[in-house]
Each structure stands twice: as C-alpha cells, then as structure tokens.
A and B are shown apart, each in its own frame.
Chain A
C-alpha cells in the first residue's frame, strides 16, 4: 500500500490536544512547580562589559561566603568548553570576555535572595577592549572590501555560472535587505534544575527541546560518562528554538554548583534575565543581484547572506546553511551563487529560532522577487507562477523534486482564496489624497523539512513504542522518543499516529515526558522534523508492535479469530514477551548530500507555502494594519488540521511581530528592551483575520506522509507585508521591523 492510499481513523482528525486538561487546570508541572527537597537556587555572575580581558573576580570580604557556594572555571571537572559546533565557547568565561552577560561564575544558596545577593557581591575586574556591537558595522567593512572582521563560518552554493546569467539578462535587479534580533518570548522562561545523584552522576530536569543535546554538550565538561548524565523534560511552556541550544548552557550553570555543593540547584530566569541573557534570532544582511529577461525568465541569482552570530559560533554555521539553501530556492534558475557568512559581534551568541535562518533568507528573496517582477513589467503573482519550481525541477543544489511537490498548488489556491488579481487593482500606489493606503502582497516559498544536508542520516533517529499496562491496569502503548511536547502539539500528533498504526483508540496511547534514561535518541525537537521524521519512526515501530501482536494471536490457542487488542495484549504481556519495538529512520538509498560542494539532496523533503497579506496604512499617521492574511500550505499529510492551523496562526502572528513590531536595539552592549513592556509582540487584537488552507501532497518516503509545519509559518509573512506596503505606497521597505517611523523617514526622502 502506498502512503497516499492509506485509510486512517485518527490521523487527519482535528482532535483536541491530549494535554489540554492538564494545562487549563494548572496541573501540568513546569520546572518551577517541581517539589525538590533541599533545592538551592543558582544565580549567574556575568560580565558587565561586551569585550575585555578578565583580571579576576573580586569577592566582597564583608559578605559571609560560608553560606553559599561559588563555582568558577576551576570547579569544572572536565574541560571548560561547550561542544556545540566548533568547541570554542567556554562554559564559563575566562581570559578574553566576548559579550556582555557572559557567565563567569555561578553562585548557589539555599534561597534565591541570598544567591542574588552573593552574586552582586562578586565584582568582575575586566580590562575593557573595543567591541563590535552591530552587524551594520561589519557590513560596512565587508562592502568596503576590508576583510578584518571576524568570520565565524562561511559556505558558498554554486550552480551554473552567474556571470553568464547576467550576460543573458535584459535587466539586472539589485537590492539589500536587513533584519535585527528577534526574541522567542516563550511564556515560560528558561529554567532547569540539576540534582546530584548518589552514583556521582547528575540528573537535569526542566524546560527544554532537546534532552540528548544536553548530554552531548555537557558530558565532557562534567567529565561524566553520558549514561551518568540523565536528562528529563518537565512541562515546557513554549520554546520556538530558544530551548534548543541555550538549555545546554543553563544546565552547565546549574550542574557546577550542584556538584560542588551536593545540593540540587535550580535556576529559573525571570523575564528580564530571559530577554537579556538568552539566544535570539540572528540579525541578517542580504544583498541580491539578479538577472531577468523581458519575458520573465530568471537568468541569475547572486546572493550575499551574512548573519550576525554573536560572540561564539554555537549553532550558527547550520543556521547559515539553512539560510543559504533558502535564499535562492523556489524558482527555476540555472545560475545561482550564494555566499553565506557568519560574523562575530560582541553580543549574546545568536541561536535557534523558528525557521533557523530561512525566514531571514526568504525575507530578502521574496521582497526581491517583487522587484524582479516589476523590472520586467509583470504582476508579482504571474511572475511567481511563471518561475516557480514544479515537480521534476531541480533546486539550486541540484536536488530533483521528484514527488510531493505542493508547488504551484499552494500559489494557485492562495491566489484564488484571496481573489488576489481583483484586489491588485485596488492598491493605492501612485494615488494621492487618500485617507488610507491599501495594498496587497504575496510571498511564495519552500521550507526544507527535517535536518539540513546529511543531518538525518548522521543522527539516525530511533523511535520506540512499548506495550504496557497503563495506570488503569489495562494495556496500552507508551511512545518512547526524545522529542518534547513544548506547546506545539507533538504529544497529540504522535499519539494519533501511534493509535492508527496499532489500530487502537487514542485513549490507550501515552507519551510520557522525554527522559534519556528511558527513551532512544530520536533527535532534537527542531527543524520541523518531529511529526515527519520522528512520527514516521513511531508509525513504523507501532506497526511492528501490531505485527507482533497479530502473530502472537494467531499462534496462541484461544485467541484465534478476531481477537481484541486488550485480550491479546494482556496475554502477550503475561508471557513476558518483549514489549518494546523500535524503528530507525532511513532515507531512500538514492538520497545524497555532499557537504563540500553543497550539492545534492539538501533536505529529505519540502513543505510549500504561499502568504498573501492585505495592508491598510493610515495616511495621517502611517500606522500599518494587516486586516487579512491568506495562506495556503502543503505540509504533506495533515495529521491534525486543528493543531496544524493553530501552529500556522501562531507562527504567522510571530511573523507579523517580526515584520512590524519586534525590535531589540543594543545600547552599550546591552539589549535595550528587557521586558514585555518594551519588547513589543503582537496581541490578539493585532492579529489579522486568517484564512488558512491546505493542499496535501503526502511525503512518500516515510509514513504516514507528514512534512514539516513548525517553522514554515515564520517564513513568508514579512516579505508579503513589505510587498503589500509597496503596492500601497510605492515605498520599498527593506529593514525589519517596518514601523510607521521608518515609513515616515522613507516618505520624507521620496
């Protein structure tokens, strides 16, 4: 049976979230709710300057230090590094300090107040050095050909020959696009507790996306074999990538004083700390130079894609790879050259955030596509329909889109839903004397699902299911994966998948919190891979369980005939037969990726999206409203339409914030917004009326055929809005967020 033809009972239904009751009634236990006897509180001592040389930490002699524990670099049992991608970042800063807020020591005390007081009594003595704080300063150097800026990583992508492409072009279109930091602003701030174990090991519990990352990152620093580093999630109140790489650092801050004091040590950030001292979305600068012919053919796409990695590389190389792969994708073009770079600034290391480099790339590309359309005198949707990749086409890395290609379907369906063509005529570009400017704009984009490049084949994700007697004494199935429920609905979606594979009621499925002592490594909860990749391992593992049960039933006297799950499972368990079934994710044998040449199958599959935004701009004040947003997505098989729409509406609203509101300045090395009053995200009243539709092109290499949905809502709204603003006012806005203040500046110029 092919993926497309399967019939399902639970998959495809908009069942409500399995954890809704616990969350609504306040029963879900977040890390700060855990009752941990003898738990101490930790507080981090940080660098007050962005760049300098650490001379020492001065402890106030008038303070009673016997009541607290202070852990510094000398207390690190192993090496003072975070593994990350280049082993450059220390767990605790020493010698050269590279960002304001860099951790230098951790204080732990029986009360939070005392821990904070003690941390205040430690004064870092730092000889300050000149700091680079803004990406724009690096861009200036780069444009001037000055290569003295600190490059943390680089990657090019080459297809054909752009020089030839420009020679063939009738028009060469150029543009630059920028965006600043974006804060994830999950509801539950970062928080973890480290509990020393009798065997010398340590147990980390709390808010996280990737339990095995913490093991990987810390076992060298803590000098513990991985099995002595047990990591378990608690309820997670939102993450958006912010709890991908950062919790590994926080786990280190908790573990050091815990090991030194023998007490459990908890650190839960308050909102101010969380905004100031955690990872953010990478600021970006992109420069496009593209060639088009009069008939709309794209002859060349040349891109510089520069990310601000902050002080250390951490995961920025892979963020940049994803950016490079999305900065020229989605359209037919034989000549592509992308120059991807990550630079260092003396700011908090940038990290994972929904989309992981792709939204920054698509922000530039989809703004630029409108300019290209304009250059050859074509309406923006016609230009996209003419050039979009279709089944059988090849991407910039030479990946052939053999199947599951939701293009041009998403474009066609969204255009129709929005009645785009009719509304184009209403745009006020070039009209004067209107009370309110009106514009409509669109964007179109693929989003790579699952890890970039050979990531999936390197990690070899394993998912497991376990037949067990549940808390009511009756048989059911436990899902054992390291993917975390963090608000996105994995618990519900994977339960639906397991229920259908085994052929039982969803109520008999459990999905306990990921705990490295109990679950195989199904990989981190990132990259829009959970439903698609981990879901497929659960599906296959559950099919094996079903197989085993029906085999058993056939052979067992008394069970023959159409036996029910309960009877068979009970008998199976009572025989002591193996209850656990695993499956390892595997890509088809003909999938290849060459990291060196950056050619091949860049992603296991692609989701596709089209966003259409309508804007109204008050001519008196230049306030920008987005009354309606239409979106159509191909996310493969839609496992749960209710949750998928929830993800999309939430993600689109996050993208709306990126487009119109969210900004973090840097003053003296410090983010200038440190609370929800000053870091402004959209409220429900700012959210447009959403019209979200699906076209289903199931992924056919892994059942049940889902593709990614987590990140794609972040990708395309900013450029769709910018394009709509251009249609409304004639102003091409190229820096996010687009505020009335910036519109005013542009209007003054024009």
Chain B
C-alpha cells in the first residue's frame, strides 16, 4: 500500500469563517476535502500528487441542509415564507444518500434524486458529496446533468463575500472550474421542476453499480397537447465537460411530438455531440446512444 497520503497536514476548521480564513492565506491554504471519495482515490493512484495541506469541510454546518426558497425575493435560504417557493438550495456537503432520500429532492428535483441513486455503491453514496461531484469536474460526474437542467447556480464564498455562478459557466474546460484559490463552494441553488413539467435521468455504465458512466443524460420538459413548450437537455461523458444541448433545445421547442419527430430528434442529437473513445466505450456508440436516450425520453413524453 502506498503511504503517500500520510504526509498530508490536515486542518479541521469548525466554522465556515475559520475555513475561509485558512483559504485566504497562502501559507495555511489547503486542498478542500469533503467526502474524500474522489481525492483519496486520486492521491492513492497517483493521478493527483498529494498536497502538503488539506482542509476538511466535514464539520461546517453552514454547508449542509436542503431548503425551499424564492430566489426572486432575495430571501435567505432556510427562512421559509408562505406562498410558492420556486427554488431549492442544497448545501455543498449534502451526500448522495441524502439527495436520493430527501422528500424535497424526490418531489421537486426527481432527476437529481435518480442520479444520486446511481452513484457508486452505498458506501460512496454515504460519503460522497454534491460539491465534491461538481468540483471534481469529471465529464462523467453523474449529478451534473441533473443540476444543469434545473438551471443550477453555484454559490461560492470567500472572505470578501459570495459569488453566484451559473453552473453552465462554472466549467471552463476539461477538469477546469471557475473557483478562485480562496473560495469554497457553500451551496447550490436550483429551480424546482415546475408543476406540469417532467424530468428524468438515465445512466449507462459498464455494470449495474460501482460504474463510471459511459454516458448519462437528464432532461426536463413541459409538453402540452403534444406541443413541446420547454425542453432542457443535459448530457455527460460526451464532451470534455457535462453539457446542456442548447441547439437541440431551441430546435425542439415549439414542435409537436410525433413518431417522425422522434426519428429526427434521434439524428439531431447524434449530430450535435462529438464524444471520444475511452476505456469505457467507443465514440460511435456514445454518439448513437445519445440519440437513442433522448428518443427514449421523447417516447416517454409522447406516451403521456
């Protein structure tokens, strides 16, 4: 066994401001570690060199919790007000196990709950976090497409205050995120799946559990009398980062669902993605199956 992780100096701040203070100073700054399920594996296998210091976020209660709120009212998360609350805030440290079993997520963000249920196995779900999944920035990060279709934003904090970044802009390139060295992701804000809309998630992996996705796909749509009024589509493992397929969305919105449209949609999706081959799958299969998955979603919608 490698002993490489043993040399890391660990800090365990107990409040967010303590953690932010550590990150603000180059001499105390360290690699942020939440569940450690990505980092430990990357350090151990040599994909990443173990850093001199790491900051455990596990004790920061500020990074926990799932709340409904109304973003337009600029209201603070966690202080519910009467009336409809169209947004949800999810703490950075929320685990996959919490996501999949939260009634709020199940009801209002069903694709996210479904995605969380496909991550790794029970152990990884108990330990791995939403922020870790997002910040790890793998094109195969299973939660990301479900966040993208919900127009999620990332809230990051530093000593100087908070920044809100639309998730779609958070990814700058392959494994590159818009996070400054002194910042910590504290929570995510998402739009609930509105009444009358549907969403769904599908993952294809090389086996039934403990599988890194060959491809995964989430959509949110509203269809009335066969007319596609609104369509959000996001895919993972077909590009250097998980992506929203905006070109497809604009193409299909305003069209009426029909069998002929299904064929066209399948081809359209395939023409819009250019995945690569890797150890898990081939470029051709990914391209083809991306179209097939979207066709499957549309069939669901067509079927009522």
A associates with B: yes
Given A113-B3, A620-B296, A621-B293, is A683 in contact with B207 using a C-beta cutoff of 8 Å?
yes
**Which of A620, A677, A680, A681 makes the CB contact (< 8 A) with B293?**
A620
Min CB gap A437→B, angstroms: 14
Min CB gap B212→A, angstroms: 6
In the complex, chain B residues whose CB is within 8 Å of the CB of A681: 207
Q: B71 interface residue, CB < 8 Å from A?
A: no
Closest to A672 in B: B279
Q: Considering the chains assembled together, what is the distance between the CA atoms of A684 and B207 in angstroms?
A: 10
- Tell me whether A686 and B208 are in contact (CB under 8 A): yes
- Tell me whether B208 and A683 are in contact (CB under 8 A): yes
Q: Considering the chains assembled together, what is the distance between the CA atoms of A661 and B296 in angstroms?
A: 25
Q: Total A-B residue pairs with C-beta atoms closer than 8 Å?
A: 58
- Tell me whether B279 and A741 are in contact (CB under 8 A): no
Interface centre among A268, A744, A745 (most CB of B within 10 A): A744
Given A272-B45, A620-B292, A620-B293, is A741 in contact with B207 using a C-beta cutoff of 8 Å?
no
Q: B289 interface residue, CB < 8 Å from A?
A: yes
Given A621-B292, A675-B45, is A741 in contact with B282 using a C-beta cutoff of 8 Å?
yes
Closest to A683 in B: B209
Closest to B1 in A: A270
- Tell me whether B2 and A741 are in contact (CB under 8 A): no
Q: Considering the chains assembled together, what is the distance between the CA atoms of A488 and B293 in angstroms?
A: 42
- Tell me whether A744 and B208 are in contact (CB under 8 A): no
Min CB gap B249→A, angstroms: 21
In the complex, chain A residues whose CB is within 8 Å of the CB of B209: 683-686
Q: A673 interface residue, CB < 8 Å from B?
A: yes
Closest to A268 in B: B1
- Tell me whether A740 and B285 are in contact (CB under 8 A): yes
Q: B170 interface residue, CB < 8 Å from A?
A: no
Q: B211 interface residue, CB < 8 Å from A?
A: yes
In the complex, chain B residues whose CB is within 8 Å of the CB of A620: 289, 292-293, 295-296
Q: B206 interface residue, CB < 8 Å from A?
A: yes
Q: Considering the chains assembled together, what is the distance between the CA atoms of A745 and B287 in angstroms?
A: 13
Main secondary structure of the interface of A (DSSP, over half): loop
Please report the total number of B residues contacting A with Cβ < 8 Å: 26
Given A680-B206, A682-B207, A741-B285, is A112 in contact with B293 using a C-beta cutoff of 8 Å?
no
Q: Which of A672-695 touch B at CB < 8 Å?
A: 672-673, 675, 677-678, 680-686
In the complex, chain B residues whose CB is within 8 Å of the CB of A739: 206
Q: Considering the chains assembled together, what is the distance between the CA atoms of A631 and B281 in angstroms?
A: 31
Q: Considering the chains assembled together, what is the distance between the CA atoms of A739 and B204 in angstroms?
A: 12
Given A741-B281, A744-B285, is A677 in contact with B208 using a C-beta cutoff of 8 Å?
no
Hey, what's the 0/1 contact readout for A526-545 against B, CB within 8 Å counting as 1? 00000000000000000000
- Tell me whether B285 and A270 are in contact (CB under 8 A): no
Q: A665 interface residue, CB < 8 Å from B?
A: yes
- Tell me whether A661 and B207 are in contact (CB under 8 A): yes
Q: Considering the chains assembled together, what is the distance between the CA atoms of A685 and B289 in angstroms?
A: 23
Min CB gap B238→A, angstroms: 14
Q: A60 interface residue, CB < 8 Å from B?
A: no
In the complex, chain B residues whose CB is within 8 Å of the CB of A594: none
- Tell me whether B208 and A621 are in contact (CB under 8 A): no
In the complex, chain A residues whose CB is within 8 Å of the CB of B211: 680
Q: Considering the chains assembled together, what is the distance between the CA atoms of A680 and B281 in angstroms?
A: 12
Q: B248 interface residue, CB < 8 Å from A?
A: no
Q: B28 interface residue, CB < 8 Å from A?
A: no
In the complex, chain A residues whose CB is within 8 Å of the CB of B3: 112-113
Q: A623 interface residue, CB < 8 Å from B?
A: yes
In the complex, chain B residues whose CB is within 8 Å of the CB of A268: 1
In the complex, chain B residues whose CB is within 8 Å of the CB of A741: 281-282, 284-285
In the complex, chain A residues whose CB is within 8 Å of the CB of B288: 744
6 extra interchain contacts, Cβ-Cβ under 8 A, other than A683-B210, A686-B208? A672-B279, A677-B212, A683-B121, A684-B209, A740-B285, A741-B281
Top 8 A-B pairs, shortest CB-CB distance: A685-B208, A741-B285, A680-B206, A685-B209, A686-B208, A683-B209, A620-B292, A741-B282
- What is B's interface to A at a CB cutoff of 8 Å? 1-3, 41, 45, 121, 204, 206-212, 279-282, 284-285, 288-289, 292-293, 295-296
